[in-house]
Amino acid sequence: MKYNYIAIEGTIGAGKTSLATKIAEQFNAKLILEQFEENSFLPKFYKNPSKYAFPLEMSFLASRFHQLKDQLSSHDLFRSFTISDYFINKSLIFARKTLQNDEFILYSKFFNIINSSLPKPDLLVYLYLHVDRLKSNILKRGRSYEKNIKKSYLEKIQSGYFDYIKQQQNMRILIIDINKIDFVEKEEDYNKILSIIKQEYDPVIHRIDCT
């Protein structure tokens, strides 16, 4: 693998954790998985977004920062590289779509302080799936608090990711369209994605349709 730190991103249900886990296992990489199931605000947010958006986003930001600060500052000599199933900037992307304007301004101040002390990934991989498939994957994994997630919310988050990506400069970003494959169930599809990720890229945005 040509990169020391890879972050896998995508909207809810894109398969971030599955892909990061498979790659880590194959290459003996250090794996960082987001600990979202421990967040007590998440089920409350899905039931009442306006009331719980701010405490949810703040608690996620704190959790992500502490985890990444701890994991990325310690070097494991027995691991070939580091791969995570999220990027700290997702905090800002979600907050922009869920918070009121005055809340977001306050949130951004905290985020900028935190973000400046964390290393950026050498490669950011964004898994793109149509909203219908995202919704199908969410229902398939059977988390009770996710079953009522609306397609409109997924569309809003997806557009937030694209808005963020368009604004980035001097960063290796790889957008992979995975609508025509199933890398979880089919090994040949996983190998297709892997061969794409293993290539060397310039620090710009790259878009690849995985077929």
Cα distances from 166 to residues 75, 101, 119, 172, in angstroms, run 32, 21, 20, 12
Q: What is the pLDDT of residue 125?
A: 98
Mean pLDDT rounded to a whole number for the chain: 93
Residue 91 CA to residue 2 CA, distance in Å, equals 27
Strands (E) in the chain, as ranges, are 5-10, 30-32, 82-84, 123-128, 173-177, 205-209
Q: What is the pLDDT of residue 17?
A: 95
High-pLDDT (> 70) share of the chain, %: 99
In the beta sheet, which residues pair with residue 5? Answer: 82
Residue 189 CA to residue 201 CA, distance in Å, equals 21
Residue 10 CA to residue 176 CA, distance in Å, equals 10
**Catalytic residue annotation:** 85
Q: What is the tens place of the pLDDT at every residue in 70-106?
A: 998 877 777 889 999 999 999 999 999 999 999 999 9
**Predicted TM-score (pTM) above 0.85:** yes
- Written as six digits, the tokens of 211 are 């077929």
- Written as six digits, the tokens of 164 are 């963020």
The per-residue DSSP string of 184-211 comes to TT-HHHHHHHHHHHTS---SSEEEEE--
Q: Are strands 123-128 and 5-10 parallel, antiparallel or unpaired?
A: parallel
Q: What is the pLDDT of residue 1?
A: 85
Taking 70 as the threshold, does the pLDDT of residue 11 lie above it?
A: yes
The per-residue DSSP string of 142-166 comes to T-GGGTT--HHHHHHHHHHHHHHHH
Domain-by-domain residue ranges, the chain?
Answer: 5-209
Which fold, 5-209?
Answer: Rossmann fold (3.40.50)
Q: What is the tens place of the pLDDT at every residue in 129-150?
A: 999 999 999 999 888 888 889 9
Q: What is the pLDDT of residue 75?
A: 73
